[in-house]
Each structure stands twice: as C-alpha cells, then as structure tokens.
Amino acid sequence: MRDTPPEGFVEFVVARGPALHRTAVLLTRQEQSAEDLVQIALAKAWRSWGRIDGNHEAYVRRIIVNEFASSWRRRWRGEVSTADLPELSRDGHGDGDHGDTVSTRQSLLAALVTLPPRQRAVVVLRFFHDYTEAATAETMGTSVGTVKSQTFKALAALRISEELREEPTADAAGSAREGMTR
C-alpha cells in the first residue's frame, strides 16, 4: 500500500487546499462536509497524481464539483434541504441599506441550500469562481447549453431579478428538459 503521498502532493495541499476548501464550503455549506468532500477529491487525485497533466487545482476542483453534483447526498445527521426557499421578509429586518444587504445575502445563502446539487455547483463556478460558461461546462462534464439552462433555473429559484438574467436559448431549454432529474 502506498502510504506516502506522491511527490508534490503535500505541497499542493498546503498551497491550494484552502482555496479548494472554499469551493467545497460553498457547495456543501457545512464545514465538516466540505472537509470530507475535499478529502475525497484529494484521495482520488492521489492515485492519479503522476498522470495529471497540467493544472492540478483545476483537476481536483473538477473532482470536487462532480463528486458533489453526481453523488453527494443528504447525510445521516446532516443537513437536509427543503424543496423551496424562504422568501425575503417584506417587513424588513435590517437597519438601512447595510441591513438590507446583509438580509439579502443571508436569504440568498439560505436559498442556495435549496438548489439541486448541479444547480448549486453551476452557481458556485459561475458566480464565485467567475468561470465562463464553457469552463463551467468543461469542469462539470456537460454542455454549454445545459450550463445555461441550469444557470437560468438556479437564478430563477434564487429569485435574482429577472432583468439581470439571460433568457435561455431554445437549445438550452431543450437541454434543461434532458437534464439531471435529481
């Protein structure tokens, strides 16, 4: 059994582990789950380490995203999201603009939990990592049309102002119908 990490592995984790962990936190919204997710991805990368050609961080992040999107499930004793999201209070709980901003962000984070895993992954890649649609599609192993449709659905579910969203193309809408069912 290979107990010794491959060459460069530990240095990579020291340098890029925190960044990968941030991605995982945004996906799972649970720090323990995020750490588990990063460990799973690192374990998978460990075995392929010598054959990874080029960007190790992109490689591991791709595993994180796909592990989360394709197989992450509600864990026993873990968070279980509900089908719908809480609406913003119309009474306003904030103190002026700052309070409104904080309230809006908190409600967005709460709503993010309710998204299906693939939509959540698209949101994190597109709007936290600022990946292009093509880069997001490549990372998730899917088509640009599916990324567009998943983005549209996610932003609709998050109730992002409609005028700030793009309408999906016919192709994207078709991809949505053929998209993931879970």
Partner 1 sequence: MTRTLDDLRGALQDEADAAAYPDVDALVAGARRRVAASRRRRLAVLGAATAAVLVVGGLAVTRPAHKALPQPADRGPFTVSASGAGFPQYQPGMKRLIVVDAPMLARTNGSIVVPTHAGRRLVVRMTCTQNDNMDNVNEWDVRMFAMFSALGGSGRSSCSTSGGFYDSLDLAIATAAKTTVLADVSFNQEPPLRPDLFKGAKIHVAIYESIPWQDYPLPPRPADMNTSAQHAWSSEPGTVRVLGPTTVQEANKPLTFTQPFDPKLSLNLEVRGPGRMRVLFDGVDVSERIGPTLTQDRFISFWGYDGTASIGLPVDIASIGASATIPPPLKPGTPVTVTIEPQEFQGPDWRIAVQPIPPSGG
**Residue keyed to tokens 């209070």:** 89
14 binds partner 1 (CB under 8 A): yes
Give the footprint of partner 1 on residues 16-75 (CB under 8 A).
17-18, 21-22, 25-26, 29-31, 34-36, 38-40, 42-48, 51, 53, 59, 62-63, 66-67, 70-71, 73-75
Give the footprint of partner 1 on residues 76-115 (CB under 8 A).
76-93, 100-101, 103-110, 112
Number of residues that bind partner 1 (CB under 8 A): 88
State in angstroms the smallest separation of the CB of 7 from partner 1: 13
174 binds partner 1 (CB under 8 A): no
Provide the 10 A C-beta neighbour count for residue 149. 24
State in angstroms the smallest separation of the CB of 158 from partner 1: 7
* C-beta of residue 137 within 8 angstroms of C-beta of residue 161: no
Give the footprint of partner 1 on residues 127-166 (CB under 8 A).
127-128, 141, 155, 158-161, 164
| b/e per residue 9-20 (b: at least 16 CB within 10 A) | beebbeeebeeb
d(Cα 119, Cα 142) in Å, to the nearest integer? 12
d(Cα 161, Cα 152) in Å, to the nearest integer? 11
